[in-house]
Amino acid sequence: MPETPTAKRPIIVIKKKSGHGGHHGGAWKVAYADFVTAMMALFIVLWLMNSSKQLQVAVGGYFKDPTGTAKKVGSNQTGSGENFTLTRDNMPKLKEELQKVVRQISNFDRLKNQIEMTITAEGLRIELLESSAGTFFESGSPALNSDGKELLAALAQELGKLPNHVSIEGHTDAKPYTVNPNYGNWELSADRANTARRLMQSDGLRLDQVSQVRGYADQKLRVLSNPMDPSNRRISLIVQYVTKDEDEEEKVPMPESKPAPGTPSS
Same domain, residue pair 36 and 143: no
Number of structural domains found in the chain = 2
Domain of residue 234 covers 85-244
- 48-75 confidence digits (pLDDT tens): 888 766 677 777 766 766 655 444 433 3
**Higher per-residue pLDDT: 94 or 74:** 94
Would you place residue 23 in the very low, low, confident or very high pLDDT band (cuts 50, 70, 90)?
low
Residue 107 is assigned to a structural domain of this protein: yes
Residue 226 is assigned to a structural domain of this protein: yes
Same domain, residue pair 134 and 47: no
Q: What is the pLDDT of residue 238?
A: 96
CA distances from 216 to 55, 173, 201 (A): 36, 10, 21
Q: What is the pLDDT of residue 24?
A: 57
Q: What is the pLDDT of residue 131?
A: 92
Same domain, residue pair 101 and 164: yes
Residue 235 is assigned to a structural domain of this protein: yes
Residue 166 is assigned to a structural domain of this protein: yes
Q: Is the pLDDT of residue 164 over 60?
A: yes
What is the C-alpha to C-alpha distance for residues 105 and 170, in angstroms, rounded to an integer? 22
Residue 260 is assigned to a structural domain of this protein: no
Q: What is the pLDDT of residue 246?
A: 42
Same domain, residue pair 165 and 240: yes
CATH label of the domain that carries residue 131: 3.30.1330.60
**Higher per-residue pLDDT: 113 or 85:** 113
Q: What is the mean pLDDT of residues 148-152?
A: 96
Same domain, residue pair 108 and 205: yes
Q: Is the pLDDT of residue 255 over 60?
A: no
Mean pLDDT of all residues belonging to the chain: 80
Same domain, residue pair 107 and 76: no
Same domain, residue pair 92 and 215: yes
Same domain, residue pair 121 and 237: yes
SS in 3 state form for the chain?
Answer: CCCCCCCCCCCCCCCCCCCCCHHHCCHHHHHHHHHHHHHHHHHHHHHHHCCCHHHHHHHHHHHHCCCCCCCCCCCCCCCCCCCCCCCCCCHHHHHHHHHHHHCCCCCHHHHHHHEEEEECCCEEEEEEECCCCCCCECCCCCCECHHHHHHHHHHHHHHCCCCCCEEEEEECCCCCCCCECCECHHHHHHHHHHHHHHHHHHCCCCCCCEEEEEECCCCCCCCCCCCCCHHHCEEEEEEECCCCCHHHCCCCCCCCCCCCCCCCCC
Same domain, residue pair 52 and 170: no
Same domain, residue pair 37 and 142: no
Residue 5 is assigned to a structural domain of this protein: no
pTM over 0.75: no
Same domain, residue pair 143 and 179: yes
- 181-221 confidence digits (pLDDT tens): 889 999 999 999 999 999 999 999 999 999 999 999 999 99
Same domain, residue pair 164 and 56: no
**Higher per-residue pLDDT: 32 or 62:** 32
Q: What is the pLDDT of residue 262?
A: 54
Q: What is the pLDDT of residue 28?
A: 82
Residue 169 is assigned to a structural domain of this protein: yes
* Listed residue (219, 220, 216) closest to 189, CA to CA: 216
Residue 124 is assigned to a structural domain of this protein: yes
Q: What is the pLDDT of residue 180?
A: 84
Q: How far is CA 45 from the centre of its chain?
A: 19
Q: What is the mean pLDDT of residues 152-160?
A: 95
